[in-house]
Structure 1
């Protein structure tokens, strides 16, 4: 099947686009008064928000797309945004853990950019609350892009096409990194699922034939016996809260020296006590944001959209396939000192597990969302300055 190619959407078309999503959590969903659902039901997503302080325009989106692909927005010119968020790999990088900046090794899975416009918390530990904040955290992060903003800004100033584009879009005489991040965020808000190509979205919008029988049975399990709706609810199929699930560490997590060095350095920057820095053999997730011991091992609930194209799964890519994830939840999750109380054995039969996995795939487009890479403008020397007499 040929992948669906998407060109830049117009802002008007973007702001009317409709989406959907889904995934799972634990025991049977409860109901409230008058038999009303206690959790927001799954539904197509509404329009993408157009931030008041970063209005979207076609010119800004086009500039952001170029910058998303431009390797000059990284330390050594090898880590543009797209290096960890490839369209052909579900806008992630396809590995268990994200590739780190040369000389480092990451310890978490690279999350997809797809539908990130609908989140209000970013990264697995939720330490950033906007796409405008996510972009510099990635581009300048020592384990990610490791770019010095002053150096990256100077590179942009030596590219005449960018100088012209920044002046047109932002009214500035020279490119500025804060504006570059705003442009990237605007572009990322266009990386969204096409609701007409998502079986669940078509079903939710009235197409009774959109789901096959296994998918329909899986949807009943999702909302009922499996209880996935408790955490993966609402249009995004995520309540964006934090839970400890007991996901197993990767086999070499504690023994990989390079991984341990970068992990411990990173958490030390986040202000953990020195004792935990020296014994930091476990990723404690949300705890690094709150410093509350009750939050150790918790991670943000991800959206379930586009799961067909965005594996491996979980914060460390521990599971390569959806059946593995379903089996993990069916067993009641893993071992954790403060494991979410919602997690209990689901007692799903093998056929029920297959049906649930089939429904989860119905939250993905029929074809992956890919884009052609933009043409990147070249460097050019600055105009000569006349000698003073």
Structure 2
């Protein structure tokens, strides 16, 4: 889903004091997912049967080897081949039509009970607007019975043409989605439930499922959510131990960085609370590139962020504040992966317009696609768009020394969990469909 982008938001507000340190995360902060459902979700997460052309899985772009992400600025979805930074844009039988417009969001701690908004632009929110529990791109066509917002987000990459669905002329799933978004999900659900191993597992794990032919996209999504919420739950970092009262858990450098983060650098005005995110939207003037998350009437590649969902001008170029645990593992950073290092994204927040002007295209991790090269950075030549982008800025510049920047980076690295690289379930060796596992 998403990956959620990683930034160190130095937003407007007064510096925080040490008393503003968040409380430690506890077991009760997380949804208790059923382990049998999570086991089904683990297999489905890596099973390419959920893609239109049976050639890409959720795990392709949210892989264990890359901390639940893919190591690219903009992902390579349908039509690509390979994994992570080595994923190529053209194979012997196909090639990508478009880069994924945004960075693949990381999955850490998305099973927290307080999560209420997902995707970089917040286009999925908990809401009673449509009577199904969520305000989403599917509106009233999102099925009822999705138990969590994490389950709701799981169904959307499956219907996205350039992510997992493919072109309408290539398979029956995308053809159905072209008619209406909810018409592709039953096709995918049938693919899954007619595999005996999956059918038996659903009957065993879900109390209301007595026969495999009762399995729908709802059960599939709930299983995926159980896996994601279980697998990427992690809060055993040095910082977490410090919050629990272990005063020597942080190195002197990381401790100094924490004091800056919650003090003069003002990072915590946005990265606040136990999840290190206010779940709000902020404009950061990150360098623009790629195809953009365009709307039907956009005349050129661009990404207006939250405004694309809200249609409110004041939301232009604002993106959701990400959570930061294990941020060290999920480079590159920003909603479009503009910065390959933590130092780079920190420096951008300290001096956004200066770093925007100094940014060069070699910072972008974009696998070569010669047929897309002319448009990869074309938005940067649009003078009016660039000026609008620069004016929408929620960051007050902060002057810090190189040493202080290093201390903030050290603190961010202290957010890496001791067990982050040892996940409870991991990547399966095989999946019931028999398709290859990335």
The TM-score by the shorter chain falls in which range? 0.7 to 0.9
Give distance in 1, aligned partners of 2:190 and 2:274: 41
Distance (Å, rounded) in 2 between the aligned partners of 1:84 and 1:149? 20
1:184 aligns to 2:221 (yes or no): no
Aligned partners of 1:127 and 1:189: how far apart in 2? 20
SS in 2 for 1:166: helix
In the alignment, the residues of structure 2 paired with residue 126 and residue 63 of structure 1 have an alpha-carbon distance, to the nearest angstrom, of 27
Would you say 1:311 and 2:351 are equivalent positions? no
Question: Secondary structure, in 3 states, of the residue corresponding to 1:299?
Answer: strand
In the TM superposition, residue 42 of structure 1 has moved relative to its aligned partner by 2.8
- Structure 2 unaligned residues grouped into runs of 5+: 1-5, 80-96, 126-148, 166-172, 174-183, 357-388
Aligned-partner Cα distance in 2 for 1:332–1:224: 19
What do residues 327-367 of structure 1 show as CA deviations (whole Å, max 9, x unaligned)? Answer: 11111455622211xx1221101100100111011111245
SS in 2 for 1:77: coil
C-alpha contact (below 8 Å) 2:18/2:259 kept by paired residues: no
- Among residues 115, 118, 121, which one is paired with 2:109 in the alignment? 115
Where 1:143 maps in the other structure, the secondary structure is: helix
Deviations 1:139-171 (A, max 9, x none): 222222215323212211321011111222233
The answer to whether the aligner puts 1:101 opposite 2:101 as a matched pair is no
Inter-partner Cα distance in structure 2 for 1:313 and 1:46: 27
For 1:104 and 1:167, locate their aligned partners in 2 and report how far apart those are by CA, in whole Å.
39
Which of 185, 194, 197 lines up with 1:149 in the alignment? 185
SS at match of 2:231: coil
- Determine the C-alpha separation between the residues in 1 that align with 2:105 and 2:414: 20
Asked whether the 8 Å contact 1:28–1:224 carries over to 2, the reply is no
CA contact (8 A) 2:10 2:396 kept: no
Match runs of 1:1-389 below 5 Å? 23-26=8-11, 29-30=14-15, 41-47=21-27, 56-102=33-79, 103-118=97-112, 119-129=115-125, 130-146=149-165, 147=173, 148-170=184-206, 171-172=208-209, 173=211, 174=213, 175-196=215-236, 198-250=237-289, 253=290, 259=291, 263-264=293-294, 267-268=295-296, 274=297, 277=298, 279-332=299-352, 334=356, 336-340=390-394, 343-366=395-418, 368-370=421-423, 371-374=425-428, 375-378=430-433
Deviations 1:46-70 (A, max 9, x none): 336676xxx7322111111111111
CA distance in 2, matches of 1:322, 1:41: 22
Which 4+ residue blocks in structure 1 deviate beyond 6 angstroms? Answer: none
Q: Structure 1 23/202 Cα, relative in aligned 2: closer, same or farther at 3 Å?
A: farther
Retained in 1: the 8 A contact 2:15–2:265? no
Q: CA deviation at 1:28?
A: 6.7
TM-score w.r.t. the length of structure 1 is 0.78
**Contact 1:26/1:332 (<8 A) preserved:** no
Contact 1:22-1:232 at 8 Å conserved across structures: no
What is the total number of aligned residue pairs between the two structures?
Answer: 329
Unaligned runs of 5+ in 1: 1-20, 254-258, 269-273, 380-389
Cα 1:332/1:156, change in 2 over 3 Å:
closer
For residue 220 of structure 1, report the CA deviation from its aligned partner: 0.7
8 Å CA contact 1:311–1:320 kept in 2: the answer is: yes
**Cα 1:314–1:114 shift into 2, 3 Å:** same
Give the match's secondary structure for 1:243.
strand
For 1:238 and 1:50, how far apart are their aligned partners in 2?
Answer: 16
CA contact (8 A) 1:232 1:303 kept: yes
CA distance in 2 between partners of 1:212 and 1:138 (Å):
40
Deviation at 1:43, TM superposition (A): 3.3
User: Aligned-pair RMSD on alpha carbons?
Assistant: 2.4
- Residue 373 (structure 1) shift: 2.2
> CA 1:247–1:283 in structure 2 vs 1: closer, same or farther (change >3 Å)?
same
For 1:58 and 1:26, the matched residues in 2 are separated by 39
- Equivalent pair of 1:22/1:238 in contact (CA under 8 Å): no
Whole-angstrom CA distance in 2 between matches of 1:128 and 1:352: 37
